A and B are shown apart, each in its own frame.
Chain A
Amino acid sequence: MSKPLEIPTMDMENKEVLRRIEITGDMLLNMGPQHPSTHGVINFLVQTDGEVMKRAIPEVGYLHRSLEKIGERCTYNGYMPYTDRVDYIAAMFANQGWAMAVERLLGLQVPKRAEYCRVIACELNRISSHLISVGTMAMDVGAVTPFPYALREREFINDLLEELCGARLTYNYLRIGGVAFDLPSGYEDKVSTFLDHFEKILDEFNRLITYNEIFIKRLAHLAPIPAPMAIDYCLVGPNLRASGVNFDVRKALPYSVYPEFDFDVPLGKGEVGTPGDSWDRFWCRVEEMRQSCRILRQALAQMPKDPAIMGKVPRKIKVPEGTEAYSRIESARGDMQYYVVAGSGENAHRVKIRTGSFTAMGIIDALSRGLMIADLVALIASLDVVAPEIDR
């Protein structure tokens, strides 16, 4: 099924070609960086013939904040708040990736209760991130109402996370070796009350939008990604699983305490269209929220009683120069990887962050050919790209 694809290059020459296109009769449309549905500051150079696109080239880099370089200048602990900004929709995962990378650098053991706190915080964050994703996707397709519904539920999660760590967006909750705070008293009850409420809302959400006839008509068969192509383009997370590839870092390369939980990995089956189409990517996220609820319920039930939430972290984190560590976690946007090389002082020599959104941008050019302008918006939304995660 995998057909050879020419990998587009995004050099200046290419852009010049596009600019010259206007003379040939096609239209060059600059979609972004100020466009309501590019999900942040991204520019798409769109070559169109009327409504039909011939090509859409993503132009990234508008939101580059040199986060990797900053990581080389800060101390290991000091970099934690910066990782929140890697992906501000799902900041907890970036925290966890960094914490795990440095813990591996130090060979630290994290207390069990801290791991459970991390899982609870991360899965809550996964739900809130997916809510944004499915809500904005519905909005990009023109249904405005699911978005406030999703945001309303997200508010509950924000309240829960605020109670946990004091922040609603950039949490800075994790610490190297543990977590900053233990669960507040009565937190388990609050989370399970929310989950009881939320699982019903998911059904309502499905009735409202997921199985809406127009919504299915818009998204089924739209930009299907066959499994080999998804692997070729290095897609991760729900985008990859929607194509039917069973790869979830939580299952495939277990980390933290995830092996102790029983959950499924939703795979796109092409229920209403082709496997791997945009509707499958949407559906995968909805189902992942359900699975996160399952994980949360188990985590709350199995929470260890031992109150220790911080491992034995040295006051000054200093490791031999050149030591390498690597962490891989399943973020809301897929496989997030941190690579750290220790420097001579209290900071890293090199930090590299690999994020799901960045690789997802690469496939847009290949998928966009022959789609319509309205489809490009749905395609971008279905890949769930978040601008800060692309550029870092």
Chain B
Amino acid sequence: MQGFLDNLIRNAGHDPATWPYTQFVYLAGMAVAALIVINFAAIASGIFSWAERRVAARIQSRVGPNRVGPAGFLQWIADAVKLLLKEDLVPDEADQFLFRIAPYFMMVGFCCVFVTLPFSHSLIVADMNIGVFYIIAVTALIVVGIIMSGWSSNSKWSLFGAIRSAAQIISYEIPGGMALMIPVMLAGTMSTQGIIRAQGGLPWQWFLFDNPAAFAAFFIYFTSALAEGNRTPFDLPEAESELVSGYNTEYSGMRFSYFFLVEWGNLWVMSALAVTMFLGGWQIPGLSPERFDALTGGTAVVAEIGSLLIFALKTLFFVFVVMWLRWTLPRIRIDQMMSMCWKYLVPASFAGVLFVAVWMLIVNAAPWLGLAMRFTLTAVGALTIAMFALRVLKNIRDTGDKFDFTSNW
């Protein structure tokens, strides 16, 4: 970001180090970046809210929202307008100040993540050298908002949701963080762009298939991300059948919409992080980052758009997987969730980090072993997908696709 602005100033014929208005340009640049990022987050979560309802409806053999705009696509705008115009109720018994301020904590924690999340080869707000650490740190701000909202609502259901959420998010930060350490070790950097650059465009160049521990770490990370994002099977903080609606029970109007904006926006965050850390990010197959850097003119623009598309498609696929899980699985109980975290995921993630440390030494000594492992794991992954597809085909053959929605789409 700074480099880009410096280049702009140089092109205008000034020296950024001595020009008196440099700081103002920086400020304007930051404002524009913040505007873009926050709007991207808001629009993405709005679209996900529509997509989730459509996906859920299709899974449940319903039609879903299909009245507003083509295939109901504008539904999220209608909902947003409705939520913004609704009365902002604050219960009499609530702690007014905390109740009002809690959603903003969640918004801040959520929007800050986008600072280091890459979108493509050069689209990133700030490529910090502690990017991953920063992401783990700022997402913890969300839990502050949740606890505040639950406590200040002065409702027992909200309190239950908040306490569950605090226990859940803090517990799952540990295995999730440790799992993210594995790509960090493999790449040797905490910068998100650096981690993507250390991978490649083809599946066997991804960290996912680098070694068995990384393979497991991906699933540990994904599970933890589901838990941190309060998604089924870990949606205990807002378990609608137990806690009415959890920590946001007493909220309405705009403040309520913030909670849901964060929840859906988190889909992008968790998926984009998984893609960045394990699935090669924006890497275009057959185009190494060094050659990418060297591209100029029209080819550079095409490659940039290509990398953007690749990153977005991978991310959207995981967004879909998260939705798919939500509408398939039951919810686990709080004690089961805790025991799963502390008894299985935490030891597994620590063991994974140790394994990767040893593995890196081994691969240093015998590089062919690393290559063989990459290809083997990629084959295992392909085989898993093929078996899953066969299973799905069998299910479809057994009962058939019951309803035809093509006319109602």
Q: Which stretch, B91-99, B137-145, B231-239, B342-350, touches the partner chain A?
A: B231-239
Known: A36-B240, A36-B244, A140-B241. A209 touches B330 (CB 8 A): yes
Q: How far is the CB of B331 from chain A (nearest CB, A)?
A: 3
Question: Cβ of B332: which chain A residues have Cβ within 8 Å of it?
Answer: 142, 214, 217-218
The A-contacting residues of B in range 36-94, CB under 8 angstroms, are 56, 59-62
Task: Determine if A200 and B399 form an interchain contact, defined as CB atoms under 8 angstroms apart.
Answer: yes
Task: Determine if A377 and B329 form an interchain contact, defined as CB atoms under 8 angstroms apart.
Answer: no
- B242 within 8 Å of A (CB atoms): yes
- A317 within 8 Å of B (CB atoms): no
The B-contacting residues of A in range 56-75, CB under 8 angstroms, are none
Residue with the greatest number of chain A CB neighbours at <10 A, chosen from B62, B241, B327, B328: B241
**Closest B residue by C-beta to A38:** B241
Interface size band for B: 20 to 34
- A201 within 8 Å of B (CB atoms): yes
**Closest B residue by C-beta to A212:** B330
- Chain B interface main SS type: loop
Question: Cβ of A201: which chain B residues have Cβ within 8 Å of it?
Answer: 399
Contact of A37 among B233, B241, B398 (CB under 8 A): B241
Q: How far is the CB of B160 from chain A (nearest CB, A)?
A: 7
Contact of A142 among B56, B59, B164, B330 (CB under 8 A): B330
B309-339 vs A, Cβ < 8 Å mask (1 yes, 0 no):
0000000000000000001111111111000
Known: A148-B60, A375-B333. A142 touches B241 (CB 8 A): yes
Question: Cβ of A149: which chain B residues have Cβ within 8 Å of it?
Answer: 60-61
- A145 within 8 Å of B (CB atoms): yes
- A144 within 8 Å of B (CB atoms): yes
Task: Determine if B244 and A142 form an interchain contact, defined as CB atoms under 8 angstroms apart.
Answer: no
Interface size band for A: 35 or more
- A29 within 8 Å of B (CB atoms): yes
Question: Cβ of A145: which chain B residues have Cβ within 8 Å of it?
Answer: 59-60, 327-328
Question: Cβ of A374: which chain B residues have Cβ within 8 Å of it?
Answer: 236, 239, 242, 331, 333-334
Total A-B Cβ pairs within 8 A: 89
Task: Determine if A215 and B395 form an interchain contact, defined as CB atoms under 8 angstroms apart.
Answer: no
- B156 within 8 Å of A (CB atoms): yes
Question: Cβ of B62: which chain A residues have Cβ within 8 Å of it?
Answer: 148
CA–CA, A209 to B163, complex, Å? Answer: 29
Residue with the greatest number of chain B CB neighbours at <10 A, chosen from A139, A145, A200: A145
Task: Determine if B399 and A141 form an interchain contact, defined as CB atoms under 8 angstroms apart.
Answer: no
Question: Cβ of B244: which chain A residues have Cβ within 8 Å of it?
Answer: 35-36
Q: How far is the CB of B330 from chain A (nearest CB, A)?
A: 4
Task: Determine if A373 and B242 form an interchain contact, defined as CB atoms under 8 angstroms apart.
Answer: yes
Known: A29-B156, A200-B398, A204-B395. A372 touches B333 (CB 8 A): yes
- A143 within 8 Å of B (CB atoms): yes
The B-contacting residues of A in range 29-62, CB under 8 angstroms, are 29, 35-37, 50-51
Residue with the greatest number of chain A CB neighbours at <10 A, chosen from B164, B242, B334: B242
The B-contacting residues of A in range 200-220, CB under 8 angstroms, are 200-201, 203-204, 207-209, 212, 214-215, 217-218
A-to-B contact residues, CB < 8 Å: 27, 29, 35-37, 50-51, 138-145, 148-149, 152, 200-201, 203-204, 207-209, 212, 214-215, 217-218, 372-375, 377
B-to-A contact residues, CB < 8 Å: 56, 59-62, 156, 160, 163-164, 232-233, 235-236, 239-244, 327-336, 395, 398-399, 402
28 residue pairs from A and B, CB less than 8 Å apart: A37-B241, A139-B241, A141-B241, A142-B232, A142-B233, A142-B239, A142-B331, A143-B328, A143-B329, A143-B331, A145-B60, A145-B328, A148-B61, A152-B402, A203-B398, A203-B399, A204-B395, A212-B329, A212-B330, A214-B233, A214-B330, A214-B331, A215-B330, A217-B336, A373-B160, A373-B243, A374-B333, A377-B242
Q: A204-B398, A214-B330 are in contact. List 10 more A-B contacts (CB 8 A).
A: A140-B241, A142-B332, A143-B330, A144-B56, A148-B60, A203-B399, A214-B329, A218-B330, A372-B334, A377-B241
